Chains A and B, each alone.
Chain A
Amino acid sequence: DGGITQSPKYLFRKEGQNVTLSCEQNLNHDAMYWYRQDPGQGLRLIYYSQIVNDFQKGDIAEGYSVSREKKESFPLTVTSAQKNPTAFYLCASLGATNEKLFFGSGTQLSVL
């Protein structure tokens, strides 16, 4: 079955550490997105990519980095510069017809 796979489901970060969240899709979608969700809040856009080897900052890109070397993969690195990283992170992709944004199951990141 086609879909989006995020891993890990839970992740813990130590102070000063960079961590990378994985997102893989086999839907052949060009566009991929990363969102952050804090408790009781909506989704805020971190980064997005509309095509391989290209990506744009969203509303809250500071302290995060991404790469898009392959169409299927859009990993997100939470750097040590992100001082408040505890949140639920969602990856999504959008097909060419733009009719439905598919979400992965999410990664809960916590700070030790």
Chain B
Amino acid sequence: GQNIDQPTEMTATEGAIVQINCTYQTSGFNGLFWYQQHAGEAPTFLSYNVLDGLEEKGRFSSFLSRSKGYSYLLLKELQMKDSASYLCAVYRTALIFGKGTTLSVSS
């Protein structure tokens, strides 16, 4: 089976750095995805980790530790437009999503 946990809500201020954690337990693992979703819209791809370590892509970075069943998404230089839900998903034969973390960025 699969169990994916993320914090429900987080708040931060513009210009700050925020880290969204994701822990998972799964009997199979082929990679971990992070998606951003604004209300009423489809999710958009942020990152994909299949090996341990840090993947950096502009203001967003994602880290994976397969032995610990742990990943995080790091958002730097936060902007108001980063207010959204962030979804962690584990890929086995299909992507299984966590419930998402709602991030609110204030000025």
Which chain A residue lies CB-closest to B43? A103
Interface residues of B in 9-56 (CB under 8 A from A): 30-31, 33, 35, 40-45, 48
CB distance from B65 to the nearest CB of A (A): 20
Give the top 5 A-B pairs by smallest Cβ distance, nearest first. Answer: A42-B99, A103-B42, A43-B97, A42-B97, A48-B94
CB distance from B84 to the nearest CB of A (A): 13
Contact flag A33-B94 (CB < 8 Å), given A98-B31, A106-B42? yes
Digitize A38-64: 1 where CB-to-B-CB distance is under 8 Å, 0 elsewhere: 001111110010100000101100000
A59 to B1, CA, bound (A): 10
A35: chain B residues within 8 A (beta carbon):
97
Q: Are B41 and A42 in contact (CB under 8 A)?
A: no
Contact count A vs B, C-beta below 8 Å: 54
Tell whether A90 is near chain B: CB-to-CB under 8 Å. yes
B100: chain A residues within 8 A (beta carbon):
41-42
A70: chain B residues within 8 A (beta carbon):
none
A75: chain B residues within 8 A (beta carbon):
none
Interface residues of B in 32-87 (CB under 8 A from A): 33, 35, 40-45, 48, 87
Question: Quick one: which of B30, B33, B44, B96 has the most chain A CB within 10 A?
Answer: B96
Residues of B within 8 A of A (CB): 30-31, 33, 35, 40-45, 48, 87, 89, 91, 93-100, 102
List 17 additional A-B contacts (Cβ < 8 Å) besides A43-B87, A103-B43: A33-B95, A42-B99, A43-B89, A43-B97, A45-B95, A45-B97, A50-B93, A56-B94, A90-B42, A92-B95, A100-B45, A101-B35, A101-B89, A103-B44, A105-B41, A105-B42, A106-B42
Among candidates A59, A99, A103, residue contacting B48 with C-beta atoms closer than 8 Å: A99
Q: Are B93 and A104 in contact (CB under 8 A)?
A: no
Interface residues of A in 61-103 (CB under 8 A from B): 88, 90, 92, 94, 98-103
A106 to B41, CA, bound (A): 7
Q: Are B42 and A104 in contact (CB under 8 A)?
A: yes
Q: Are A58 and B94 in contact (CB under 8 A)?
A: yes
